[in-house]
Amino acid sequence: MSTVPIAEHALLSDCHSAVLVTTAGSVDWLSFPRFDSPSVFGRLLDDDAGHWSIRPVGAGRSQRRYRDRTLVLETEWRTETGTIRVTDALALGAGNRGHALGVGSPHLLMREITGVDGEVEVDICYRPRPEYGILTPLLAHVDGGVTARGDAEWLVLTTPVHLDLDGSTARARTKVTKNQTLTFALHRSTLEEHPAHVWAQEQLTARLADTVEGWRSWSELHQTYDGPWRDLVHHSGRVLQALTFRPSGAIVAAATTSLPERTGGERNWDYRYSWVRDASFTMEALWVAACPDEAGDFFAFMTTAAAAAIGPDTPLQIMFGVGGEHDLTERVLPHLRGWRGIRPVRVGNGAWTQQQIDVYGELLAAAHRLLKKT
């Protein structure tokens, strides 16, 4: 079971799905292709549910930060023999700028290792476990990478170093020297989509730079707030944007499921959905800290989703799936032990059947706020 404090996880997003990276350099949560999709890496909820770690061999001290005005994460590791920098990002669509952030995101997780000084031996462990850890996929070498298949998903890991396969786990140790760069990437597709593939190193370098510029263009266009706690307000605005599902405009309450409200309780819920109340408050925050255009996208999503099932005998539903889904039937995943062993682990959310009258007020307040735009 995972014992890593929740605060030690950093969020990555492509405005479709989310990644959580620990301070130890491990991707412990990844859900492709949507926020509410089954996890590919789920060690956040169980050690056996998959992860992908990149870190120095032996002792090392790390510091990390997001690149200026982005959600691209940089972790610098200092060891007795040298220093490396690991840069993590979910790729945005090519050429995404400003309001187009997240259009055509390719479902690609990039992890770049750069030697800063000296020489550092690095340990890489890739252990995909799709469908919340139920599947142990078949791994196979291809030219420049490793494929994983076990269901409809097709995962292709681009790797510039040879990985040894042991069942459904791939591992390697390699030395990184000053000014050397190694870029890894996990690409996802399905049998119905254009297949995932191995990426050339120069392609990944270009896509990482493009993703940085995409986030910066959004920040420059949206983040004009200049008051108390300016940096925190701006970062919060980027996080709210990161929780937006670009194809529909939905805003999810959280990127994860089943993190407990308190130790020892059973209030472990799946929050990867869009609540009328919470998303309306988020829309208000985006209006202040970012830009009204994203608020308009959310309102269009919410009114479309709500209109399909509202009438004299059908009250306004309090929440929806990111694609506008109404049926969010809840189920328990008994094979997962939960964060710090706190069960149950749930997907779906039974609250969709509840009736809460205040949501009418929140939706009307959102409409009133949007009137001020025109």
Alpha-carbon distance 150 to 208, whole Å? 29
Tell me the two tokens of residue 115. Answer: 């030697």
The residue-averaged pLDDT of 17-29 equals: 98
Q: Name the residue among 259, 254, 273 with its Cα closest to residue 351.
A: 273
Q: How many CB atoms lie within 10 A of CB 193?
A: 13
CATH code for the domain of 136? 2.70.98.10
Q: How many CB atoms lie within 10 A of CB 308?
A: 11
Same domain, 41 and 82: yes
Same domain, 106 and 44: yes
Same domain, 193 and 260: no
* Total number of domains constituting the chain: 2
Q: How many CB atoms lie within 10 A of CB 195?
A: 12
Q: Name the residue among 218, 197, 235, 227 with its Cα closest to residue 106.
A: 197
Same domain, 108 and 152: yes
Cα distances (angstroms) measured from residue 95 to each of 26, 98, 131: 28, 10, 31
pLDDT at 5: 92
Yes or no: say if 184 and 158 are a contact pair by the CB < 8 Å rule.
Answer: yes
Q: Name the residue among 348, 345, 296, 359 with its Cα closest to residue 321.
A: 348
- The partner residues of 127 in beta bridges, in order of sequence, read 51
pLDDT higher than 90, residue 154: yes
Render pLDDT for 233-252 as a digit per residue (tens, 0 to 9): 889 889 989 999 999 989 89
Domain around 248: 224-371
Q: What is the pTM of this model?
A: 0.94
pLDDT higher than 90, residue 222: no
Residue with tokens 């990276």: 21
Same domain, 206 and 254: no
Render pLDDT for 193-204 as a digit per residue (tens, 0 to 9): 889 999 999 999
pLDDT higher than 70, residue 288: no
Q: How far does CA 308 lie from the centroid of its chain?
A: 29
Helix, strand or coil, per DSSP, at residue 350: helix
Render pLDDT for 27-84 as a digit per residue (tens, 0 to 9): 999 999 999 999 999 999 999 999 999 999 988 899 999 999 999 999 999 999 999 9
Same domain, 166 and 229: no
Same domain, 42 and 58: yes
Same domain, 195 and 295: no
Q: Which helix (H) or strand (E) holds 149?
A: strand 145-149
Yes or no: say if 50 and 41 are a contact pair by the CB < 8 Å rule.
Answer: yes
